[in-house]
A and B are shown apart, each in its own frame.
Chain A
Amino acid sequence: MAIQAAPEDVQVATKPLLQVQGLTMSYGFGDSENKILNDLNLDVNDGEFVSIVGPSGVGKTTLLRCLSGLIQPRSGTVSVGGEVINGPHRDLAVVFQDYSRSLMPWMTTLENVAFPLQGRGVGKKERNETAEKNLAAVGLAGQGHKYPWEMSGGMQQRVAIARALAYNAKVLLMDEPFASVDAQTRFDLEDLVIDLQATLGVTIILVTHDIDEALYLADKVIVLAEKPATVVDVIETGFGDHRDQVETKADPRFADARARILHRLRDH
């Protein structure tokens, strides 16, 4: 993780999985130009869990949309595995905040999870098996016949996560994934994501406005602030693989890091 662009002479093998260089994004032109992101550089290594935290309206969602290839930045590049992306990419899956809208109500849960595989031409039997397996991984074994709207918000978000996992991308991008569920469900989902990351080794980039969530989940927390958004701090959490909603949050390092982020955000 580095704020500066990686030096050019780094060997290919050690290159970060996802690399952002000089990313600048704005809407409008001329007098009405509204700059959202200014010259962002990030490196995310394979298997890393990175949180991007910042106040509402700082441009987190715009950043995530650039990372996922849904929008093209004004300047700068996003690359995955050394390949500069110019649109949605095979190695990038996204879990949206709006789970109830991103799941298709006319498909059963199983069909929803299997749909991206169908798009890739995977046969019916195989894709249903994969979907069933991933539903089980998120704790929804045997629930594939249900429709999303027959499930609670937390369960729907599990389905969305299963869908992203089934796509088997190298990087999982999550946009405020737990913002619309109640606190207890949120904790459950956070722990689910931690477990999944540990067992599957997938790289996760999660965007949130919740400092506690960012710290609790991630190996590294990137703090965004100012207008246009820039990286104002990078914190290595160092909590290791074992996390607990009570213990980890009571850790003095947790309190220190949180105070540091709050200061950062207040000063900017």
Chain B
Amino acid sequence: MTDTALRSAPKPGTGTRARRPEAERVRSRPAQVALNVLQRAWLIVVVFAIWWIASADSTNVFIPSLESILTSLGRDLFNGVIAEGAAYSLGNLAAGLLIAVAVGIIGGLILGETKRLREIVDPVIHFFRSVPQAALVPLIIGAFGIGQGPKIYTIAFACMWPVLLNTIDGVLGVEPTIRKFSRVYRIPRGLHFRKVVLPAALPQIVAGVRVALPIGITVMVVSELFAANKGLGFYILNSSATFMVPETWAGALLVGVIGYILSLLFVVLERRILSWYFKSGAK
């Protein structure tokens, strides 16, 4: 998660081409679609069913039946208890991510364009991004209290590094020909940044944000599990402290589902922002 995974790692897709449309496609289209859906969905259904049946008459107080978990989840979703907490948590996440993205992109553009500065601060950056984000939580909360601000800053600090590092990589990866073009035609510096470097580095930047998103969610939950009076993490912590076991499970599952939905939404967003990139086949 803390890795930019883009420089030394082979990019997914480089050097490989899609398999040729071979002759084996024999089935007609609608049947193919139905089969596809079935192939993708069956395992989820099976897992769900096994969980439901296996936990149905569980006598272990810590393993409530799936039915009771879903019942409490449904109840708290509709009575607004969760909605309020989710709004608080996701608000913090959004604010933290926004700060991280802004700082990361600006810092990354500057460092990417100035070689010497980049080389000088390189070890410092790599040190900071290696600091376990969760370990910051007790310090920041201890120093600044359990309010909203410290949580946002912790999220921002944790999410900043992947964005920063990926922006630097993106700037470094700008096609030299495009750079030369920009210089030959004397594109003004501001315009050069806005219209040449930034769009060219955008695929990498977006990849950095994609890495940052799950880190942000984790830090969000951890900060609330550590100490909070509001939020999804607080909901989990509070229900576990008061031995409302199904609610604890429900909260944890919900955070997982939210994480999944956010990552799906991000893919949609990515497709929109980078439509030129995917269509050009540059990937």
Residues of A that sit less than 8 Å from B by CB: 25, 27-30, 71-72, 74, 101
Interface string of B11-30 (1 = CB under 8 A from A): 00001000001110110100
Note all chain A residues with C-beta closer than 8 A to B23. Answer: 25, 27, 71-72, 74
Contact (Cβ within 8 A) A27 B28 = no
Note all chain A residues with C-beta closer than 8 A to B21. Answer: 27
Partner of B22, one of A28, A29, A71, A101: A71
Note all chain A residues with C-beta closer than 8 A to B25. Answer: 27-28
* Known contacts A25-B23, A27-B21, then 11 further A-B pairs from the complex at CB < 8 Å, ordered by chain A residue: A27-B23, A27-B25, A28-B25, A29-B26, A29-B28, A30-B28, A71-B22, A71-B23, A72-B23, A74-B23, A101-B15
What distance in Å separates the Cβ of B244 from its nearest Cβ neighbour in chain A? 55
What distance in Å separates the Cβ of B14 from its nearest Cβ neighbour in chain A? 12
What distance in Å separates the Cβ of A28 from its nearest Cβ neighbour in chain B? 8
Q: How many angstroms from the CA of A29 to the CA of B21 in the assembled complex? A: 13
Note all chain B residues with C-beta closer than 8 A to A25. Answer: 23
Q: How many angstroms from the CA of A30 to the CA of B23 in the assembled complex? A: 14
Interfacial residues of chain B within 104-139, with CB under 8 A of chain A in the complex: none
What distance in Å separates the Cβ of A262 from its nearest Cβ neighbour in chain B? 30
Q: How many angstroms from the CA of A25 to the CA of B26 in the assembled complex? A: 13
Q: How many angstroms from the CA of A85 to the CA of B22 in the assembled complex? A: 18
- From A62, which residue of chain B is reached at the shortest CB distance? B23
7 A-B contacts (beta carbon < 8 Å): A27-B21, A27-B23, A29-B28, A71-B23, A72-B23, A74-B23, A101-B15
Interface string of B243-254 (1 = CB under 8 A from A): 000000000000
- From A71, which residue of chain B is reached at the shortest CB distance? B23
What distance in Å separates the Cβ of A180 from its nearest Cβ neighbour in chain B? 15
Q: How many angstroms from the CA of A27 to the CA of B28 in the assembled complex? A: 13
Q: How many angstroms from the CA of A28 to the CA of B23 in the assembled complex? A: 8
Per CB-CB distance, the 3 closest pairs between chain A and chain B, nearest first, are A71-B23, A72-B23, A71-B22
Note all chain B residues with C-beta closer than 8 A to A74. Answer: 23
What distance in Å separates the Cβ of A177 from its nearest Cβ neighbour in chain B? 19
- From A36, which residue of chain B is reached at the shortest CB distance? B23
Q: How many angstroms from the CA of A74 to the CA of B28 in the assembled complex? A: 16
What distance in Å separates the Cβ of A131 from its nearest Cβ neighbour in chain B? 25
Note all chain A residues with C-beta closer than 8 A to B15. Answer: 101
Interface string of B27-41 (1 = CB under 8 A from A): 010000000000000
Note all chain B residues with C-beta closer than 8 A to A71. Answer: 22-23
What distance in Å separates the Cβ of A71 from its nearest Cβ neighbour in chain B? 5
Note all chain B residues with C-beta closer than 8 A to A101. Answer: 15
Note all chain B residues with C-beta closer than 8 A to A30. Answer: 28
Note all chain B residues with C-beta closer than 8 A to A27. Answer: 21, 23, 25
What distance in Å separates the Cβ of A38 from its nearest Cβ neighbour in chain B? 15
Q: How many angstroms from the CA of A28 to the CA of B27 in the assembled complex? A: 10
Q: How many angstroms from the CA of A25 to the CA of B23 in the assembled complex? A: 9
Note all chain A residues with C-beta closer than 8 A to B26. Answer: 29
Q: How many angstroms from the CA of A71 to the CA of B20 in the assembled complex? A: 11
Note all chain A residues with C-beta closer than 8 A to B22. Answer: 71
What distance in Å separates the Cβ of A75 from its nearest Cβ neighbour in chain B? 12
- From A30, which residue of chain B is reached at the shortest CB distance? B28
- From B28, which residue of chain A is reached at the shortest CB distance? A29
- From A105, which residue of chain B is reached at the shortest CB distance? B15
* Most interface-central of B15, B23, B26, B28 (chain A CB within 10 A): B23
Q: How many angstroms from the CA of A46 to the CA of B276 in the assembled complex? A: 53
Note all chain B residues with C-beta closer than 8 A to A28. Answer: 25
Q: How many angstroms from the CA of A29 to the CA of B28 in the assembled complex? A: 8
What distance in Å separates the Cβ of B71 from its nearest Cβ neighbour in chain A? 49
Note all chain A residues with C-beta closer than 8 A to B28. Answer: 29-30
- From A26, which residue of chain B is reached at the shortest CB distance? B23
What distance in Å separates the Cβ of A243 from its nearest Cβ neighbour in chain B? 34
Q: How many angstroms from the CA of A206 to the CA of B15 in the assembled complex? A: 26
Interfacial residues of chain B within 14-73, with CB under 8 A of chain A in the complex: 15, 21-23, 25-26, 28
- From B26, which residue of chain A is reached at the shortest CB distance? A29
What distance in Å separates the Cβ of B282 from its nearest Cβ neighbour in chain A? 19
Q: How many angstroms from the CA of A209 to the CA of B25 in the assembled complex? A: 28
What distance in Å separates the Cβ of A187 from its nearest Cβ neighbour in chain B? 29
What distance in Å separates the Cβ of A149 from its nearest Cβ neighbour in chain B? 11
Q: How many angstroms from the CA of A216 to the CA of B61 in the assembled complex? A: 83
Q: How many angstroms from the CA of A84 to the CA of B28 in the assembled complex? A: 28
Q: How many angstroms from the CA of A72 to the CA of B22 in the assembled complex? A: 9
Q: How many angstroms from the CA of A192 to the CA of B28 in the assembled complex? A: 47
Q: How many angstroms from the CA of A150 to the CA of B36 in the assembled complex? A: 43
Interfacial residues of chain B within 245-277, with CB under 8 A of chain A in the complex: none
What distance in Å separates the Cβ of A51 from its nearest Cβ neighbour in chain B? 23
- From B16, which residue of chain A is reached at the shortest CB distance? A101
